[in-house]
């Protein structure tokens, strides 16, 4: 990923509030809008990001640029509010609370280039690796708007695949069930204020969930992220969503089809 930090593009204002729960949602895709904006050298991209930031702060009265990340037509990912920050872009409290905002620096008359789509996909995968949920939605899913335009909206509706038809990381193709290894015999759970459960069985389950496409470190420690992934998986498979890996959830991790 070609990542441009705030200091590199010349951010002048704050980042906005830290209250966000992206694991409950995922990523929302936007565009800059306003006719044709592409076909310019990369040297013009950082000034455009600064201009957006200035408008959002001085024109809208927001604490910082609305988007968490921005992507230019050349495939560079600009750090906006960044990680762990509630966006101001979705137009709804739920959307801003549960979704990171990624803005494509193109207009409503511009085509979406391969470099741009790869850059957006890099941004999505990066946010997922840092705890964002699996959902990818267009801005228009939250409020009545034409954003992110017909080209990006169609691409998002297909799951935001990388150009060339390659499978998107974090979104595995459906697979056949495989036999589950024997349940190790202890319940894996996370309880606030109590010692974390550690061990080879934790790591084995985490590795299996990663293989299924879930964003999770296989560190052998059953912490809050493991419990969140467990609950989401249980809801997907219509199991009791208690965040505890018992025999049924363990078995489903191997035997239930990947969807």
User: Where residue 215 sits, what CATH number does that domain have?
Assistant: 1.10.101.10
Same domain for 204 and 242? yes
- Residue 118, pLDDT > 70, answer yes
- Residue 174, pLDDT > 70, answer no
Residues 97, 233: Cα–Cα separation, whole Å: 21
- Residue 167 in any domain: the answer is no
- Residue 11 in any domain: the answer is yes
- Residue 166 in any domain: the answer is no
Cβ–Cβ < 8 Å for 95, 76: no
Cβ–Cβ < 8 Å for 65, 49: yes
DSSP one-letter code for 22: G
List the domain range (segments joined by +) for residue 40.
2-157
Same domain for 179 and 148? no
Q: Which of 129, 157, 185 is a domain's end point?
A: 157
Q: How far is CA 1 from CA 119, 123, 183, in A?
A: 7, 8, 39
CA angle, corner 149, sides to 162 and 171, nearest 5? Answer: 30
Residue 10, Ramachandran bin (φ over 0: left; ψ between -120 and 50: alpha; else beta): left
- Residue 165 in any domain: the answer is no
Q: What is the pLDDT of residue 258?
A: 76
Same domain for 131 and 209? no
Q: What is the pLDDT of residue 178?
A: 60
CATH of the domain at 49: 3.40.80.10
Nearest 5°: phi and psi at 185?
100, 0
Q: What is the pLDDT of residue 180?
A: 84
pTM exceeding the 0.85 threshold for the entire prediction: no
Cβ–Cβ < 8 Å for 135, 27: yes
Instruction: Give the model's confidence band at 168: pLDDT under 50 very low, under 70 low, under 90 confident, else very high.
Output: very low
Same domain for 150 and 231? no
- Residue 162 in any domain: the answer is no
Residues 86, 82: Cα–Cα separation, whole Å: 9
Same domain for 192 and 143? no
What mean pLDDT value characterizes the chain? 90
In tens, the pLDDT along 77-112 reads 999 999 999 999 999 999 999 999 999 999 888 888
Cβ–Cβ < 8 Å for 72, 116: yes
Residue 177 has which token pair?
Answer: 């069930």
152-177 burial, b if ≥16 CB within 10 A, otherwise e? bbebbeeebebeeeeebebbeeeeee
- Residue 229 in any domain: the answer is yes
Report the number of distinct structural domains present in the chain.
2
Same domain for 8 and 119? yes
- Residue 221 in any domain: the answer is yes
- Residue 66 in any domain: the answer is yes
Look-up of token digits 């999770």: 216
CB atoms within 10 A of CB 184: 16
Same domain for 107 and 10? yes
Same domain for 15 and 87? yes
């Amino acid at each position: 990923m070609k990542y441009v930090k705030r200091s590199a593009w010349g951010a002048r204002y704050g980042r906005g509030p830290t209250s966000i729960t992206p694991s409950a949602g995922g990523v929302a895709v936007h565009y800059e809008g306003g006719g044709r904006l592409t076909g310019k050298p990369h040297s013009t991209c950082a000034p455009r990001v600064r201009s957006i930031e200035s408008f959002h702060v001085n024109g809208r009265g927001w604490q910082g640029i609305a988007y968490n990340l921005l992507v230019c037509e050349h495939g560079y990912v600009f750090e906006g509010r960044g990680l762990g920050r509630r966006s101001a872009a979705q137009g709804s409290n739920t959307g801003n609370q549960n979704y990171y905002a990624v803005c494509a620096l193109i207009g409503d008359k511009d085509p979406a280039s391969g470099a741009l789509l790869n850059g957006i996909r890099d941004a999505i995968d990066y946010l997922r690796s840092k705890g964002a949920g699996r959902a990818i939605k267009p801005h228009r899913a939250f409020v009545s708007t034409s954003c992110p335009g017909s080209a990006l909206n169609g691409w998002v509706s297909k799951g935001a695949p990388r150009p060339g038809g390659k499978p998107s990381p974090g979104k595995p193709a459906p697979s056949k069930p495989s036999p589950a290894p024997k349940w190790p015999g202890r319940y894996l759970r996370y309880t606030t204020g109590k010692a974390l459960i550690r061990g080879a069985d934790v790591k084995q389950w985490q590795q299996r969930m990663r293989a299924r496409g879930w964003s999770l470190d296989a560190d052998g420690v059953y912490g809050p992220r493991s419990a969140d992934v467990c609950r989401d998986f249980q809801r997907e498979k219509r199991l009791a969503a208690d965040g505890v890996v018992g025999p049924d959830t363990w078995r489903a991790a191997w035997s239930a089809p990947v969807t």
